[in-house]
Amino acid sequence: MSDDLEDAKELAGRVEAFVRETVIPYENDPRRGTHGPEESLVEELRVLARKAGVMTPHIRENGAHLSQRATAIILEKTGLSPLGPAACNTAAPDEGNMLLLGKAATPEQKARFLAALKTGHARSAFFMTEPAELNGAGSDPSMMSCRAEPVESGWRVNGEKTFITGAVGAQVGLVMAQSSQGACLFLVDLPDPAIQVVDVLDTMDGTMPGGHARIAIKDLFVPSDQVLGEPGDGFRLAQIRLAPARLSHCMRWLGLAVRAQEQALDYACRREAFGQLLVDHEGVGFKLAENEIALQQSRLMIDWCASVLDEGGRANEESSMTKVAVSEALFEIADRCIQVMGGQGVNDSNIPAQLFRETRCFRIYDGPTEVHKWSLAKKLKKRWKEAQA
């Protein structure tokens, strides 16, 4: 095992201890809120994470990111609690935004927009998805209707966005807009009066700080030095964070699925019915066994995709397959855990019910399962045609 992975295993042990001993007791805190944990709770947890030495654990002190395989080991442990990623600063969208800025931002942009994200003193939002009724960008980013027009010393941006995770309370914004030169990605300081929160949506999930908001952008001025990359680079830059961000979602939710399995197994090994422990009933024990198999399969898929990224591959196809396989597997794990626990399973104070809601949403965001399968099928057809030539 490489030194990178050995270091990750040691760090993951400290992260797990912090999450289990310090973060999990906060899960009943009323500040968890309906649209993600409130800012006061996030900051309190991050103070504790800094003291424990587990703040932003996937990024070294010199700013270098750990390998994707090493990151997977650590992010799984932050995911053991719904509050763990926010506490340790490994949550979406910040984790993916930090990766992108680390690779594509200028030194000046890093100092202004990235530094505070790494220390956990700021949060960010990625403004790309648009309202369906405007026929805007969703799974198909080429449909983007938000426009950027060049003006003196910069750009003027107008449009609407929706399902923007973390927009409420964010200090850094990455805004995607279409221009005559192609898609552009802009860095902006938040809050900005030109970027208005129209509504915070009542979605099924509830673990990400700031929730998911609908946004109106009206006459946003962005100086030229706040363009990420070059005008027209937007889609290319988005690809940098695409596969790793899909994968890190898998890493975090795997951790929560492990915890759900722990709760279901504990319940089944203590609860008696029809003359024996639940776990000894084949219909229950088999569900737990299937979960254990699915957890390991998911872990292996994540490691496989991470290896491709670490070897320099774009991993678009591999991340699509992994995202589909893992999101579907974890949703089924949640469903089986709920079935094992019966009435306790649907009790929202228990992890299986929370995992069920979160993974149901995960099957949609970062590309619905059907879109990934459609894309993979197109590639399979192309390969078949090429093989016939």
Domains of the chain, by residue range, sit at 3-91, 124-232, 235-380
Overall pTM surpassing 0.85 (yes/no) = yes
- Digit-by-digit pLDDT tens for the chain (389 residues) are 466 899 899 999 999 999 999 999 999 999 999 999 999 999 999 999 999 999 999 999 888 899 999 999 999 999 999 999 999 999 999 999 999 999 999 999 999 999 999 999 999 999 999 999 988 888 888 899 999 999 999 999 999 999 999 999 999 999 999 999 999 999 999 999 999 999 999 999 999 999 999 999 999 999 999 999 999 999 999 999 999 999 999 999 999 999 999 999 999 999 999 999 999 999 999 999 999 999 999 999 999 999 999 999 999 999 999 999 999 999 999 999 999 999 999 999 999 999 999 999 999 999 999 999 999 999 999 999 999 98
Single out the residue of 109, 107, 7, 17 nearest to residue 66, CA to CA: 7
> Are 290 and 336 contacting, i.e. CB atoms less than 8 angstroms apart?
yes
Q: What confidence score (pLDDT) does residue 1 get?
A: 46
* Side-chain half-sphere exposure of 300, counting CA atoms within 13 A: 6
Q: What confidence score (pLDDT) does residue 2 get?
A: 66
Interatomic CA distance for residues 324 and 372, integer angstroms: 7
Q: What confidence score (pLDDT) does residue 4 get?
A: 86
Domains 124-232 and 235-380 share a fold: no
Q: What confidence score (pLDDT) does residue 342 get?
A: 97
Interatomic CA distance for residues 277 and 261, integer angstroms: 17
CATH superfamily label, 124-232:
Butyryl-CoA Dehydrogenase, subunit A, domain 2 (2.40.110.10)
CATH superfamily label, 235-380:
Butyryl-CoA Dehydrogenase, subunit A, domain 3 (1.20.140.10)
Q: What confidence score (pLDDT) does residue 139 get?
A: 84
